[in-house]
Chains A and B, each alone.
Chain A
Amino acid sequence: MKILHRGENCHFVPAFSQEIVRESVRDIPSAGAVLHSGIRRGRQTFIFDDPPKIVGRWTVSGKKEGAGPVGQYIHSVYRDPKMGEKNFEMAEIDMLREAVDGAIKAGGYLPEDIDLFIAGDLLNQITTSSYVARELNIPYMGMYSACSTSSESLATAAFLINAGYIETAACATVSHFATAERQYRFPLEYGCQRPPYSQWTVTGAGCALLSKAGKGPAVTAATLGKVVDYGANDIGNMGAAMAPAAMDTLAAHFFETGTTPADYDLILTGDLGKLGSDILRELMRERGYPLLQNYIDCGTLIYASDQDVYQGGSGCGCSATVLNSFILEKMEAGQYKSVLLAATGALMSPQSCYQGETIPCISHAVVIRAGEA
């Protein structure tokens, strides 16, 4: 296998002057987490005083993800990409449905016990989530934040539970390779070459069940991202487009909470891919928060390097699948104590890109800690 990108040892051209960096750090107005009308928060970061726990989780994936490094942790793996359905969209609905049902069951709840169902996917009008909600008979909030939907839904549920409005919420996200290809790119069997910097949409669904009571890793803080656009307009090179958004949110998080990358056992980004995470490392270094060995990207984690996916996985199912299978399992086992997940999303549509628009990106971060009472 030819190494496409040499990562850390690359001699990147120095792209940013220190002057710009200092200016952008100054841009963040409030320093540290401050007490703001009774709630501990910074400008973007919210710290929960009664952190909700992840009491149940379930993941479903396709064959390719099942054969990857985290495959053994995924709860159910389907060989058939259509899952016996007539089309891929219906298979995607089935996947999400199974993830939600599985998570509710794993948490020892019944669907009628769940106060809120927060879900999102990549399809137009987030139909997959809504069709699953149609069957569930649970109050539903549809969420779209592209691939950062997974962390946005976790953050939203945590806000509502921490505030005391609801007790339990199921946060689910799904993406499917075939439906995403059809929506964003070309027909499946169309013979075209993918550029070496492209990524592969994950066929996977993940659901986390958050609850006020119970035991499990807790969502202790959330940092909401701002839309960041560094002018990238190559729809094939998502990692490069999204890396600045991840940098912006991570830097805001470290700055406002007064932490450093070394304070976490694991720092995860959603689906930057190999190239994107290398760019993020470079950006974070320039921003004054160099990422260490504890940083990894879910997109690079989900596929092995010989699975022919170039830069790694993408899609909102990517971070949801990796988090709800491998990461949370290791957290429950006590291997990781604190995890910072910053899923990144590219908020463009194929139309906006053809119209010459650049790609606006966002990243929402959540902190998950194991063993919090």
Chain B
Amino acid sequence: MLLVNSVKQFVTRRLPDALHRLGSPRLFFETSGRWLPWLLALSVGLLLLGAIWALLFAPADYQQGHSVRIMYIHVPAAILAQSGYLMMAVAATVFLVWRIKLADIAMQSAAALGISITFLALVTGAIWGKPTWGTWWVWDARLTSTLVLFFLYIGMIALRAAMAHRAGVGRACAVLALVGLVNLPIIKYSVDWWYTLHQPASFSLSRAPTMPLEMWLPLLVMVLAYYLFFFTAWIMRIRQLILVREKDTDWVRQWLASL
């Protein structure tokens, strides 16, 4: 009976409370502030570990030689370019349905991060393509759909800038984020649906690795490090935007005065 009651209390009171709190910019700011130093240390540490392992100790490839090391930078960037968009679309859905202000801020922050990481994926891909394929760029389905992803992120930022200070800016951006979501399966399956220059996916948790463990493990560390870094940078950017949007409130003034 006691257990049932506590479960009931958790579901009816604690959980909505927690969600409500997460949606409050002030409480998010205060809670994330306590987590941030740890997240920052962990993500930078993991990035350093992965980079040193991948760039100095992982073996070269039998065909590509040392050019294969670009993979450790390129593959996680390409994964995060797509995951970042998915997270942005989730934030957009939450904002559209529940009108939580924090979701709007999260959507805005994810766009800024996504654009940088997609740029990194495109640039490292070109640098890798030249010595292996023999070209910087080719208009195949994988490369072109990734470029479209880059333009979608640009569109998100441009739309927000164009509609700044107007009611409904968040809703317009959220709709654009959802419309662009259709591009994600196209990117993912482009190499299977059409003939492309780009090879099929090398990194997947659901299929057998396409490389020996001594190459796969540093790649796994890099993927995890990129995810952690993305989350950390996302939280930092959200906190910054919270301060900007709530700059006229008492708690922000008090927080600034306490610095």
Do A and B originate from a single complex? no
